[in-house]
Amino acid sequence: MLLALPSIVDARLPGYNTAMTQVLLFVSLHLLVRTSGQISLCHIGFAAVGGATFGHMLGRGVPFYLALLIGGLACLPVALIVSVPAIRLSGLYLALATLGFGIVLSQYAYAKSYMFGGTALATERAPGFDSQRSYYYLLLAFAVGGVLLVMLVERSRLGRLLRAMSDSPVALTTLGTSVNVARVLVFCISGFIAGISGALYASLFGAVNQDAYNYVQSLVALAVLAIAGSRTLTAAFAAPFLLYVVPLYFTDQDIVQWLQLAFGLGAILAAAASQGALGTAAARSTQRHVERLAGPGGHRMPLPMPHAPRARHAGVGV
């Protein structure tokens, strides 16, 4: 279906290209949130670092693919800084720490010369992929490669450690496993993939500035990821589809407002389902209406009481 999309969507293909650049962002966030149990509200900041570095490298004559790689590698020092609070914090406090880091990055670093410098950075597409159709297939190749990389990590020894860390970090520490190393590694891998996503996003438009990486989008991305599901492959492609493709087909303002309402309700239901609240409510409702469980087949005829054996006369049993 993904291979056939350019022949189906026609004029909406640029929107699909935008969504395809975000597959890497969501799959990296999935690795961090779903697999390892960490949380990040500064993932758009990783994408911004990757996009800005990508633009600077192209301006210095670096080839496209090498500039793309450098954009991802530039996120590693940033990911190391972000992983420091993750060693000591978790849950709500880690969310607040990463959100604060994203705000500081947006309000302070974006305007510096080593990032966007208050102007637009010139970017370009990969050579030989000038049309929207051909560039879609290149972005699809990057998306599939990133998803396969994350699935490989999840099935490796590191992935088993990350899942165990999500379940019980104390148990891992008791067994002598370094939880801090696993946390730093998952932040670095996730930040690297998010930086590649930001660089690919920057390459779409020929120029990019700081307005393209609003830190508030990190909150939206996390909510959409929760709605998209828990499977790696499904979440990686469904989340950007919900965020970037669905609005392409609804231009009426009233419908857009209903979509925003549905998004908010979907986020609430996803949060409730993740904590088992929906299952608990259904179980309580069943207990209150237990009489509905008994249908016609639930009524049984009373069994006859056993009788004492009768005496035998002349060898004949009566």
**pLDDT of 314 strictly over 70:** no
What mean pLDDT is predicted for residues 42-66?
A: 92
Residue that wins the pLDDT comparison between 311 and 55: 55
- pLDDT class of 29 with cuts at 50, 70, 90: very high
User: pLDDT grade, residue 286 (50/70/90)?
Assistant: low
72-81, 173-182, 188-197, 241-250: the lowest-pLDDT one: 173-182
**What are the pLDDT digits (tens) for 219-275?**
888 888 888 878 888 888 999 998 888 888 877 666 666 666 776 676 677 666 655
| pLDDT at residue 277 in the model | 57
pLDDT of residue 300: 54
Beta bridge partners of 208: 121
Residue 120's DSSP bridge partners are none
Work out the average pLDDT over 148-166.
88
Residue with tokens 């899942």, as numbered in its chain:
163
Residue with tokens 């730093």: 184
Of the listed ranges 50-59, 266-275, 286-295, the one predicted with least confidence: 286-295
Average pLDDT, the chain: 82
Q: Is the pLDDT of residue 127 over 60?
A: yes
State the pLDDT confidence band at 69, using cuts at 50, 70 and 90.
very high
DSSP string across the chain: -TTTHHHHHGGGHHHHHHHHHTHHHHHHHHIIIIIT----S-HHHHHHHHHHHHHHHHHTT--HHHHHHHHHHTHHHHHHHHHHHHHH--THHHHHHHHHHHHHIIIIITTSTTTTTTSPEE--PPTT--SHHHHHHHHHHHHHHHHHHHHHHHTSHHHHHHHHHHH-HHHHHHTT--HHHHHHHHHHHHHHHHHHHHHHHHHTSSEE-GGGS-TTHHHHHHHHHHHH-S-HHHHHHHHHIIIIIGGGG---HHHHHHHHHHHHHHHHHHHHHHTTHHHHHHHHHHHHTGGGG--GGG--PPPPPP-PPPPPBTTB--
What is the mean predicted confidence (pLDDT) over 290-310? 55
Q: Would the pLDDT of 54 be above 90?
A: yes
Least confident of 193-197, 288-292, 296-300, 302-306: 296-300
Say what percent of the chain tops pLDDT 90. Answer: 30
Give the model's pLDDT for residue 318: 43
